Structure 1
């Protein structure tokens, strides 16, 4: 269990169910209090508007579209987030190029390191 992640509320926006299940398992192993997931932009926005999250993981591409609207909603509420993507190129959006990116497939250690940097005081 990771001290920085223990008790945290995480939002995971991911449309591939097997990847989502892997991430949920990893975050549980890291001690996150709750992991809430969304597979669509609409559901992610509704969750962000209705709940409070300590951090989020955001797939760059959701069902063939980009996740820019979700990134904007997270940023507006001050929720720190990292991107995850299976794409190899640098397809970062202007204004978010400073965000950490996890390249799929990623390891438990890579996820831990990115989240620790994201949530470090």
Structure 2
């Protein structure tokens, strides 16, 4: 049985093109249960009724910084990947996201998928992936 097809992912991204790109990457890897939201409020509402296997989140959404959501995920032991253009050491709310994998945009699709699969298998962790500043290949 494929790990991908049996798992649910919440994607928190307010840039529609980036959201569509990440959805395509995840669908291409066999993930078929992806919920995409663009605001903290929508994410909180969805998370009230659902327990995803993984959350891929941008830090700043249409209605603010998602630090409270990251802290909630940590408390619920739901692994998450911070997929953002911000550098961890420079972001004032970075501590809230300390239990997640930090990937800086742009990121190679293979790197994103590697971290998605690792997070699903291993659960919550804290890691910064440094090779995500490479230029993104177009498909």
Question: What is the TM-score when the length of structure 1 is the normalising length?
Answer: 0.87
Gaps of 5+ in 1: none
**Which structure features the higher share of helix residues?**
2
Is 75-84 or 39-48 further displaced after alignment?
Answer: 75-84
**Residues 41 and 98 (structure 1), Cα distance of their counterparts in 2 relative to 1, 3 Å cut:** closer
Give the equivalent residue in structure 2 for 1:110: 111
Aligned pair count reads 120
2:86 corresponding residue in structure 1:
87
> Root-mean-square deviation (CA), in Å?
2.0
In the alignment, the residues of structure 2 paired with residue 119 and residue 83 of structure 1 have an alpha-carbon distance, to the nearest angstrom, of 14
Aligned-partner Cα distance in 2 for 1:4–1:15: 27
* 2:5/2:33 contact within 8 Å kept: no
Q: Secondary structure at the match of 2:24?
A: helix
Aligned pairs for 1:32-47 (under 5 A) are 32-47=31-46
Deviations 1:16-73 (Å, cap 9, x if unpaired)?
0100000111110111131001100000000001112111101011137311011122
Conserved? CA contact 1:48–1:74, under 8 Å:
no
Greater C-alpha Rg: 2
Matched, 1:12 2:3: no
- Runs of 5+ unmatched residues, structure 2: 123-139
Separation in 1 of the partners of 2:52 and 2:63?
25
Could you say which structure has the greater relative contact order, defined with CA pairs below 8 angstroms and 6 or more residues apart? 1
**Length-normalised TM-score, structure 2:** 0.76
